[in-house]
Amino acid sequence: ASRELQFHSFSITREAPTTDKIPTAGFCFNIDSRNRSGTRSRRSHASTQRSRHTVLMSLPANSSMYLGDTTALHKGHTYTTKRVATLCKAAKAWTNNTMRSKTASVDAIRATRLITAIKTPYLPNGKVDLASYDGLVERQIEGGVGGIVVGGTTGEGQLMSWDEHIMLIAHTAKLYGDELKIVGNTGSNSTREAVHATSQGFAVGMDASLQINPYYGKTSSAGILQHFQAVMDFGPAIVYNVPARTSQDISPDIMQLLAKHENFAGVKECEGNDRIRAYTDDGIVCWTGNDDEAHAARYEAGAVGVISVTSNVVPGLMNDLMSNGPNPELRDRLLPLMKWLFAQPNPIGLNTMLAMLGCIEPVFRLPYVPYDSDLRAEGAALIQALGLEHTPGQAICDIDDDQFKILKDW
């Protein structure tokens, strides 16, 4: 868990003019014009300009850097080289024990039954509405939810810049990290982006990452395996299998190999309860990604719980459904709302509902647009039947079509 940086001890005597080739960018260390014993060379000041230099550079782990010609380094010194080697032994994200102690363990992630894929609300200018966001998160805590996914598909991470995305993870971890497991959706179809975002996410306080297999620009089975292994090195990870969005299934053979990684927390599986049952029989932790199958997944297929969209609207009821034993009656009460939320691709229904409940501004980033008036009326009736008190709203608002703001730029 600790990070150790070692530089080979060396000193240089700069003679003017110098042609030392030292790249700049990254962190800094000092090069002193002393030999290894710490004493100065006896060469006169007139013939040799001795000075202490600060060098900025970026060094990857287990790499070396070219400093220049041997003749520029060895005269009058006991240590001579053309290259300076660095040795970096580190758990990539956890730079010290304190940081590691503040990150949830894999076992703690696996024990979280209800994780909400939280909505990201917007201001009329299109920026993230942090005040409304905080209100939504706090209602999740009140409802007994154990964790949230920040910037998932439901939270429209695909419409965020990485600056927005990492900012929202940091904001959430800072305010609510003691009360919720913070799962950052830092996956990408680009391994490079996924690695970068995941390292940043853990650095700013998330407890686990949600990782998708490469979509659109699909890869081979071997490529999928290496993609996930690259990001799982940073900390606890939930692998997300949703072929309806990626058009590529993560096969059980691949999942079995991924499950051997020490940071594999489990899988958010959207391929049905038969798949989940097979995984849980083999000891692989699963959350279903399908709200309408959550009850059977939890109590019949062995899933630990659900990563849910519906819990944005009725967090307490979804917590009851996952935590308090089989309840077919409650399941049947919630199924019409679940069906309504997915009448069009997620997160359109959720965005519409939370605007109707007055929890967020009626602002949509394209390509999402709200439900039409007929569907909105149907949704209002469903909330009245379930009970407004179970939602984060104070009233059901009748929003006209022209009151929705649709943004093509933000």
Per-residue pLDDT tens over the stretch 124-162: 999 999 999 999 999 999 999 999 999 999 999 999 999
Q: Which of 122, 240, 279, 371 is catalytic?
A: 240
- Tokens for 252, please give them: 């059980």
Instruction: Round the average pLDDT of the chain to a whole number and report it.
Output: 83
In this prediction, residues 195-217 reach a mean pLDDT of 95
pLDDT at 81: 36
Query: What distances in angstroms separate CA 40 from CA 68, 83, 135, 215, 264, one per listed residue?
Result: 21, 22, 63, 60, 53
Report residue 180 as tokens: 């919720």
3-class SS shares of the chain: helix, strand, coil, % to 5: 40, 15, 45
Half-sphere exposure (CA, 13 Å, Cβ side) for 101?
4
Catalytically annotated residue among 133, 176, 181, 268: 268
The C-alpha angle with vertex 122 and arms to 118 and 127, in degrees rounded to 5, equals: 120
Q: pLDDT class for 102, splitting at 50, 70, 90?
A: confident
Active site residue 122: no
Chain segment 59-77, per-residue pLDDT in tens: 333 333 333 433 333 334 4
The residue ranges of DSSP E strands in 171-207, in sequence order, are 181-184
Can you give the pLDDT at residue 99? Answer: 61
Q: Does residue 199 contact residue 232 with C-beta atoms inside 8 Å?
A: no
Give the pLDDT confidence of 339-376 residue by residue, as tens digits. 999 999 999 999 999 999 999 999 999 999 999 999 99
* Residues sharing a CB contact under 8 Å with residue 176, sequence separation 6 or more, in sequence order: 137, 138, 141, 148, 182
pTM reported for the whole predicted model: 0.77
268 is catalytic: yes
